[in-house]
Amino acid sequence: MHWLGRHRLLVLALICVFCTGLILSGHFFPGVPFISAPWRGEQSFEDFLRREGRKTPAPADFVFLGIDQSTLQLPPLTAEEIAGNRAFQLMTEKPFPWSREVWALLLDRLFAAGARVVIFDMIFNPPNDGDPAFHAALDRYHDKVVLGANFDMANAAQAVTPNNTLIPPPQLQDDRVGFVNFWADQIDGKIRAVTYRVTDRELADLPPDPSEEVYQSLSARGLAKIGHANDVPRDFRGHMIRFTSPDAFAPRPLYEVFDPKFWHSNYADGAFFKDKIVMVGASAQVMHDVFDTPMDPTTLGPALHLQAMAAAMNHEFLRPTPAKTGLALVGAGGLVAWSLVSFLRKPLFCVGTLVLTTAAYLGAARLSYDQTGLLLLTVPVLSALLLSGLFSLGLEYAIERLEKLRTRRTLERYVSKNLVKEVLENPDSYYSSLRGVRVPATVLFSDLIGFTTLSEKADPEALVSQLNEYLSRMTSVVFSNGGTLDKFIGDAIMAVWGNVRSFGMAQDAKNCARAALAMRCELKKLNQKWREEGRMGLGMGIGINQGEVVVGNIGSHERMDPTVIGDSVNLASRLEGLTRIYGVDILVGASAAELTRDEVHLRSVARVQVKGKSKPVDVFTFIGGRNEEVDPEFLKWLETYEEGLELFRARDFTEAKILFSRFLEFYPDDLLAKMYLNRALEYEKAPPDEAWDAVEVFEKK
């Protein structure tokens, strides 16, 4: 640490170089986990900018007529409405795809209303009824119509075009046909770029050759029809576009164009379509013409073509940060971090400056996107800045923490972990409590059964090893459930909940209950392990009580011990001793049982008066947690046991005997039921005096 102090700037520089190099390596090794994460995250950040940043303005003359569910099904029409409407007759004769005469009628209607161009995001490939009528309309409006074609990429980029009846071959060279394909990002399948022109070589994943036959996209054909051919990029690569708002091109139901009511009310008898560019395509989800884009995972295909046209018309194309510039920016991020940490010695001031620098760079990235369309490299740059800065700050912080940690670990060898934590984090409140204060707490005593016999026979070294293994497991359970280890008493453990920091009486009691059940489980595992090793298994008794205790520093001037004292503590200790009498491993006082009733399955054990207490208390045992797998049949028959115990305490020994006997038919080895059955039989023959209240008095500890 002394060496680190003397060479601080050098060490900080090495850390920044390492962190920056780590980020830079992700660019060259994109398949390596973790180090490539900032570069993958850049894509998500750029998508965020697309959603939140400036959008391409949607041209007011773009209209999307959608083949939606209402158009496919058609609303209820009267016979008169169908009889007087040729389009409705054709649309009701058979389900979609209808006779192509429908599209001829649509073109006549739209162009009669003054529409400028009609674009079909549809591929009219198989022959169908009405092809001659549609062919005639296509010829009639040759300079105003565009149809779709498709490259089947799953089948060697085979072209699927309008059939020969509609457009004579070669269809893709006809200025009325454009391909509808969008090529998604290979990493996440999202559409971010539009390809307006392709060649055969490019479709075969070969470098494009401009001398080859060039195919135009649907959007490029549409732009040419409206006089914007010069706005179409002349190259053959994908162009990232600035999207319009997701709802910019909301589809209008196609059938409304043929319905006189809607034609009049919604479209002003056709005046709405004057000088409009109309896109016709699927908008019903069942037709699956949707694409995943940064704006919406269900962007409709026809709307995406309109977005591609709008971006080209407004020259709204995005460009990434050049690779060399991006790498230089990452290096600059590490350099800035080193400068800040090296010369701003106050940690909080340094952190604040890092945050402000990050915010400023994010603002610059947003401004660059909105104003120039440059996607300024952001996530890797800020990763280098923050990783270098925080690691450098962490080094200085770690040196200080190591000293504190060494102190804490030394204390934790002698004092409970949560006690050490309270002393270090809230020393004032803790030290004031050591003078003596009454608080509600839950106390647990546990003791091994059979350990004395084992200690007389076992090898001392093996004995200590076994005891330490047991105590380590049990202590870990106490700590993991928020308890304080008050002390070890030989092989016994005293733990408290609520003395150092309380989570409320009920929660403290529940935490203690969870610890007791976990101790039971851990001992089972230990016994299995010990027996497999040829060692003797051990039993355990646990006593739990909740009540008011005195918390304070107890002891002499030479040695003080922070602990808890009081009747509630004594009762917990007595209950632990009674576990051997009643043949259960856990005994719980009434107040603790009531607080944990919704956490565990309880079983009544007895009404006892222990040594040093003048009043009897009801004691219970835990069957298991309500979140554990407990035999439902046992819980069902436990009701019989509880009813028998109530009758026993009410002096109805005959009925109690019957219920205990019934319970024992199913669980013949149950010690509590046997004990009460024997007593019921005794009292049935020789009833106790009138003062008897079912209380068992214990004169010994």
Residues 6+ apart with CB under 8 A from 138: 107, 145, 147, 166, 167, 176
Summarize pLDDT for 552-609 with one digit per residue, the tens.
777 665 555 678 888 889 999 999 989 988 989 999 999 999 999 999 999 999 998 8
pLDDT at 410: 55
Going by their DSSP bridges, the two strands 193-194 and 239-240 should be labelled as antiparallel
pLDDT at 296: 92
CA torsion, ordered 164, 169, 175, 179, to nearest 10 deg: 80
Summarize pLDDT for 174-217 with one digit per residue, the tens.
999 999 999 999 888 999 999 999 988 878 777 776 667 889 99
Radius of gyration for the alpha carbons in the chain, expressed in angstroms and rounded: 41
E-assigned strand segments in 121-213: 145-152, 158-160, 177-179, 193-194, 197-199
Six token digits for residue 54: 């400036």
What is the arithmetic mean of pLDDT over 152-157?
A: 79
Q: How far apart are CA 126 and CA 644, in angstroms?
A: 84
pLDDT at 426: 58
Six token digits for residue 1: 């640490």
Q: How far is CA 75 from CA 70, 110, 280, 281, in A?
A: 7, 22, 20, 19
Which residue, 538, 548, 544, 627, is CA-closest to 593?
544
508 pLDDT above the threshold of 70:
yes
Point out which residues pair with 549 in neighbouring strands: 439
Q: Which residue has the tokens 């045992």?
A: 621
Q: How far apart are CA 340 and CA 285, in angstroms?
A: 54
pLDDT at 414: 45
Six token digits for residue 137: 């309309």
Six token digits for residue 260: 């006189």
Residues 6+ apart with CB under 8 A from 239: 193, 194, 195, 196, 233, 311, 317
Q: Which residue has the tokens 């230990």?
A: 526
Q: How far apart are CA 601 and CA 97, in angstroms?
A: 66
**Helix (H), strand (E), coil (C) string for 302-337:** HHHHHHHHHHHHCCCECEECCHHHHHHHHHHHHHHH
Half-sphere exposure of 227 (CA within 13 A, CB side): 2
pLDDT at 31: 78
Which residue, 332, 320, 354, 385, is CA-closest to 45?
320
- Which of 152-166, 363-377, 400-414, 524-538 is predicted most confidently? 363-377
CA torsion, ordered 558, 559, 562, 563, to nearest 10 deg: -110
For residue 66, name the pLDDT band (cuts at 50, 70, 90): very high
Q: DSSP states of 90-106 as a string? A: HHHHSSSS--THHHHHH
pLDDT at 694: 80
The domains located in the chain, with CATH, are 2-51+320-408 (no CATH), 57-315 (no CATH), 416-629 (3.30.70.1230), 631-701 (no CATH)
Residue type, 74: L
Helix (H) or strand (E) holding 589: strand 586-589
519 pLDDT above the threshold of 90:
yes
pLDDT at 404: 62
Summarize pLDDT for 306-335 with one digit per residue, the tens.
999 999 999 999 999 999 999 999 999 988
Six token digits for residue 466: 């076994």
For residue 436, name the pLDDT band (cuts at 50, 70, 90): low
Backbone angles phi, psi at 697, to 5 degrees: -100, 130
9 pLDDT above the threshold of 80:
no
How many residues can be counted in the chain?
A: 701
CA torsion, ordered 380, 384, 387, 392, to nearest 10 deg: 180
- Say if pTM beats, i.e. exceeds, 0.75: no
For residue 693, name the pLDDT band (cuts at 50, 70, 90): confident
Backbone angles phi, psi at 59, to 5 degrees: -60, 135
Point out which residues pair with 215 in neighbouring strands: 198
Q: What is the largest CA-CA distance in the chain?
A: 117
What is the arithmetic mean of pLDDT over 639-645?
A: 92
Residues 6+ apart with CB under 8 A from 462: 535
Q: How far is CA 658 from CA 615, 634, 640, 654, 696, in A?
A: 30, 18, 10, 6, 22
Q: How far apart are CA 454 and CA 535, in angstroms?
A: 10
- Between residues 2 and 212, the one the model is more confident about: 212
- With vertex at residue 41, the alpha carbon angle to CA 39 and CA 46, rounded to the nearest 5 degrees, is 100
Sign of the dihedral through C-alpha 303, 309, 311, 317:
positive
Q: How far is CA 285 from CA 189, 200, 324, in A?
A: 19, 32, 44
Helix (H) or strand (E) holding 508: helix 505-532
Q: How far is CA 662 from CA 471, 603, 604, 620, 673, in A?
A: 40, 17, 17, 21, 10
461 pLDDT above the threshold of 60:
yes
Q: How far is CA 458 from CA 182, 185, 318, 490, in A?
A: 79, 71, 80, 16
Question: Could you tell me if 80 and 238 are in contact, meaning their C-beta atoms sit under 8 angstroms apart?
Answer: no
Q: What is the mean pLDDT of the chain?
A: 87
115 pLDDT above the threshold of 70:
yes
For residue 273, name the pLDDT band (cuts at 50, 70, 90): very high
Summarize pLDDT for 126-145 with one digit per residue, the tens.
999 999 999 999 999 999 99
Helix (H) or strand (E) holding 282: strand 277-282
pLDDT at 1: 45
Q: Which residue has the tokens 């819980």?
A: 635
Six token digits for residue 126: 């198989």
Helix (H) or strand (E) holding 10: helix 8-28
- 184 three-state secondary structure: coil
Q: Which residue has the tokens 């009528």?
A: 133
Six token digits for residue 136: 């005639």
